[in-house]
């Protein structure tokens, strides 16, 4: 039986985070009272004229630059015509022939290694309204229209069909989200519909390069949904082809509850929309200085930062990935690291990454807080790591200090001082405890003397206990071994 290779291309719609809509001054706040953020322009009253929002163009162009796209110095809007109750004008202002940006790429990391996904184009358009279908246990037969979303700026990012597994598609979505959040152009919250994805899937015989007939899958509202819908669709198409049947070109809807896709409509063609240039808006013309200014405004992007943290700071790929996934987290880490001077900084990077990714993130996650709301500042986490590196407190004691810091937000130095948690180095004191431990456990002492190294653990434990967990474990071990003549 021939085997098939899946081919996936994604069309991602992202709401740009602007104060006002793309062609009128209405606010864009999420969750407002239905139809409270509308005006004659976004409702498409006859005779009104759209005025382009500059910051929507800036958000899109910054995205395009971050994705290494060619930004067209001249682009035009087009009317895409269709009839649906969420679109009061009966046409959507979009871009067709001359989009704002083309030919970029996003590098993603997958389990199988790095992959490059080419971006075909990015264009600017307006969002449509929202329909609320009154379906419940009773037979209800009406829908409500909320036009608050109508006219919110959307950018559509169209990839080339460069992905081949559901995991790659999910990694692409996550990579894109990270870039957009770094840029601050969108929150990319899929549950709220700020980021939406139409996934195009086809199969081809393995080893060939042509494109098979595709189905377009819509209605995924989470990253998980994208992955599951694609996995389902790949399996569905494989079964059909293996049974000698054909794939129908169509739009299918993902049903997260059922875990399957079903046919919604046969796929419309571009000519169905009767695109034509928007007569009410002049072409967008971008100057070199405008582009330069935006280019200069770009932050270091997540993939670059990740590689830098691996190389410069010796972090594992995994830790660097976790830390750079969100800009505020990476900022926190680097601020904490900046509190150390060389050469201690080199030594501090890994423990700091550990404290951050395991202890602090775990605690914040449980408290449903973001890093910005952390009760432990980057400076204080750095101070705690410094106490451990300098041997002032043991790693174990540091955990209890950390708990106090998380609960009360104090300085680690003050907590250690007030609670008397400083690590004990005093060899006379430790030696006395060691003698007591040996006297209390003659059997263990005998075993150690007889060369059973494992028996030492019980004695070390006893000394640590006597010290209230504060004796330096290395010193304890060394003194016990000395006293028992073990090496």
Give the footprint of ligand ADP on this chain (CB under 6 A): 7-11, 158-161, 200-202, 211-212, 214, 267, 270
**Which does residue 6 touch among ligand ADP, Zn ion, none (CB within 5 to 8 A, set by kind)?**
none
CA atoms within 13 A on the CB side of 297: 16
Q: Shortest distance, CB of residue 203 to ligand ADP, whole angstroms?
A: 8
Q: Shortest distance, CB of residue 209 to ligand ADP, whole angstroms?
A: 12
The Cα–Cα gap between 396 and 474 comes to: 13
**Which does residue 160 touch among ligand ADP, Zn ion, none (CB within 5 to 8 A, set by kind)?**
ligand ADP
Q: Which is nearer to Zn ion, 151 or 321 (CB)?
A: 151
**Which does residue 129 touch among Zn ion, ligand ADP, none (CB within 5 to 8 A, set by kind)?**
none
Sheet-wide strand order for 153-159:
70-71, 101-110, 113-126, 153-159, 4-15, 195-205, 215-220, 250-255, 260-266
Using DSSP's 3-state secondary structure scheme, residue 233 falls into helix
**Which does residue 158 touch among Zn ion, ligand ADP, none (CB within 5 to 8 A, set by kind)?**
ligand ADP
The Cα–Cα gap between 168 and 230 comes to: 10
Q: Shortest distance, CB of residue 150 to ligand ADP, whole angstroms?
A: 23
Q: Which is nearer to ligand ADP, 29 or 268 (CB)?
A: 268
Q: Which is nearer to ligand ADP, 211 or 407 (CB)?
A: 211
Q: Which is nearer to Zn ion, 89 or 327 (CB)?
A: 89
Helical pair 344-354 and 302-313, crossing angle rounded to 10 deg: 120
Taking Cα atoms as reference points, which of 147, 148, 72 lies closest to residue 103? 72
**Which does residue 169 touch among Zn ion, ligand ADP, none (CB within 5 to 8 A, set by kind)?**
none
Q: Which is nearer to ligand ADP, 252 or 380 (CB)?
A: 252
Token pair recorded at residue 189: 């919250």
Q: Which is nearer to Zn ion, 45 or 84 (CB)?
A: 45
Q: Shortest distance, CB of residue 226 to ligand ADP, whole angstroms?
A: 13
Q: Shortest distance, CB of residue 41 to Zn ion, whole angstroms?
A: 5
Token pair recorded at residue 226: 């994208």
Q: Shortest distance, CB of residue 154 to ligand ADP, whole angstroms?
A: 16
The Cα–Cα gap between 35 and 55 comes to: 24
**Which does residue 42 touch among ligand ADP, Zn ion, none (CB within 5 to 8 A, set by kind)?**
Zn ion
Q: Which is nearer to ligand ADP, 211 or 304 (CB)?
A: 211
Residue closest to ligand ADP (Cβ): 9
Q: Shortest distance, CB of residue 330 to ligand ADP, whole angstroms?
A: 30
**Which does residue 24 touch among ligand ADP, Zn ion, none (CB within 5 to 8 A, set by kind)?**
Zn ion
Interacting residue ranges for Zn ion, rule: CB under 5 A: 24, 26, 39, 41-42
Mind spelling out the 3-state secondary structure of 104-147?
EEEEEEECCEEEEEEEEEEEEEECCCEEEECCCCCCCCCEEEEC
The Cα–Cα gap between 294 and 401 comes to: 45
Taking Cα atoms as reference points, which of 180, 243, 250 lies closest to residue 215? 250
Helical pair 395-408 and 412-419, crossing angle rounded to 10 deg: 110
**Residue 349 near residue 310, CB atoms below 8 Å:** no
**Residue 340 near residue 298, CB atoms below 8 Å:** no
**Which does residue 39 touch among ligand ADP, Zn ion, none (CB within 5 to 8 A, set by kind)?**
Zn ion
Helical pair 54-66 and 288-296, crossing angle rounded to 10 deg: 70
Q: Which is nearer to ligand ADP, 197 or 484 (CB)?
A: 197
The Cα–Cα gap between 345 and 289 comes to: 40
**Residue 310 near residue 316, CB atoms below 8 Å:** yes
Q: Which is nearer to ligand ADP, 122 or 352 (CB)?
A: 122
**Which does residue 61 touch among Zn ion, ligand ADP, none (CB within 5 to 8 A, set by kind)?**
none
Token pair recorded at residue 478: 């060394």
Q: Shortest distance, CB of residue 244 to ligand ADP, whole angstroms?
A: 20
């Amino acid at each position: 039986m021939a085997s098939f290779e899946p081919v996936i291309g994604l069309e991602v719609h992202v709401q740009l985070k602007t104060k006002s809509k793309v062609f009128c001054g209405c606010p864009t706040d999420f969750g407002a009272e239905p139809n409270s953020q509308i005006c004659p322009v976004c409702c498409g009253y006859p005779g009104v004229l759209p005025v382009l929002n500059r910051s929507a163009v800036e958000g899109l162009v910054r995205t395009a630059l971050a994705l290494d796209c060619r930004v067209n110095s001249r682009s035009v809007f087009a009317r895409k015509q269709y009839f649906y109750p969420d679109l009061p004008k009966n046409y959507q202002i979009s871009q067709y022939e001359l989009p704002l940006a083309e030919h970029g790429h996003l590098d993603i990391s997958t389990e199988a290694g790095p992959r490059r996904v080419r971006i075909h184009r990015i264009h600017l358009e307006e969002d449509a309204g929202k329909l609320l279908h009154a379906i419940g246990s009773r037979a209800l037969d009406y829908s409500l229209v909320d036009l608050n979303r109508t006219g919110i700026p959307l950018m559509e990012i169209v990839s080339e069909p460069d992905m081949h597994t559901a995991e790659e598609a999910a990694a692409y979505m996550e990579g894109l989200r990270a870039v957009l959040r770094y840029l601050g152009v969108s929150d990319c919250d899929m549950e709220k519909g700020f980021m939406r994805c139409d996934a195009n899937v086809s199969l081809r015989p393995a080893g060939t390069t042509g494109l098979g007939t595709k189905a377009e899958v819509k209605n995924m509202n989470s990253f998980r949904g994208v992955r599951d819908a694609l996995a389902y669709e790949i399996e569905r198409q494989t079964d059909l082809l293996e049974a000698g049947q054909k794939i129908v070109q169509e739009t299918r809807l993902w049903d997260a509850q059922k875990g399957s896709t079903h046919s919604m409509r046969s796929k419309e063609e571009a000519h169905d929309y009767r695109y034509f240039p928007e007569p009410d808006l002049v072409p967008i013309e971008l100057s070199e200085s405008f582009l330069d200014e935006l280019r200069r405004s770009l932050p270091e992007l997540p993939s670059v930062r990740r590689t830098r943290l691996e190389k410069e700071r010796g972090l594992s790929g995994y830790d660097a990935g976790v830390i750079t996934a969100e800009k505020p987290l990476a900022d926190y880490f680097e601020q904490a690291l900046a509190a150390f001077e060389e050469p201690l900084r080199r030594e501090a990077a890994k423990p700091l990454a550990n404290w951050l990714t395991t202890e602090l993130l775990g605690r914040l996650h449980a408290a449903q807080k973001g890093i910005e709301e952390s009760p432990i500042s980057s400076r204080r986490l750095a101070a705690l790591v410094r106490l451990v590196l300098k041997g002032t407190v043991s790693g174990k004691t540091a955990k209890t200090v950390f708990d106090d810091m998380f609960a009360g937000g104090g300085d680690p130095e003050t907590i250690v001082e007030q609670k008397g948690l400083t690590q004990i180095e005093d060899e006379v004191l430790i030696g006395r405890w060691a003698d007591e431990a040996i006297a209390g456990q003659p059997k263990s002492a005998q075993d150690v003397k007889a060369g059973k190294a494992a028996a030492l653990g019980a004695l070390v434990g006893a000394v640590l206990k006597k010290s209230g967990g504060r004796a330096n474990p290395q010193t304890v071990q060394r003194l016990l071994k000395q006293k028992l003549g073990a090496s």
